[in-house]
Amino acid sequence: MDDITIERVTATPAALALIASLQARYGPVLFHQSGGCCDGSSPMCYPQGDFIIGDQDVLLGSIGEAPVYISAPQFAAWSHTQLIIDVVPGRGGMFSLENGTEKRFITRSRTFSGEEICVLPAARRGA
């Protein structure tokens, strides 16, 4: 498995299409995996520069050229899983850019295998 790259976050084709649409409208965007407050545990999409990345946020990777962050405590709980950003019909998060498109981002996940965990890239802190 040495030549295989394991991503901590990926996106479905439907999510990538919605990201591209949002980027065409708003410019560069980023995601922050919500920790469960107002919008549950939805991946929230914001224009880059409108969301302040803190020093306790962890960069998981990028999807469709959009960086994806998660809080450090949430990362610790989910570090053994790959997050898969997908889209379903419905209303987006209150402050997330897809709100009003009648689509919303959701997070699916799968547990990494033992072999995958051994080759995962190190996580990087945000700010």
List the chain pLDDT tens, one digit each, 127 residues: 455 678 999 999 999 999 999 999 999 999 999 776 554 578 999 999 899 999 999 999 999 999 999 999 999 988 899 999 999 998 876 789 999 899 999 999 999 998 888 888 766 665 5
What's the confidence (pLDDT) of residue 58?
94
Angstrom distance (rounded) from CA 26 to CA 46? 9
The model carries a pTM of: 0.88
What's the confidence (pLDDT) of residue 19?
98
Within 10 Å of residue 71's Cβ, how many Cβ atoms?
A: 17
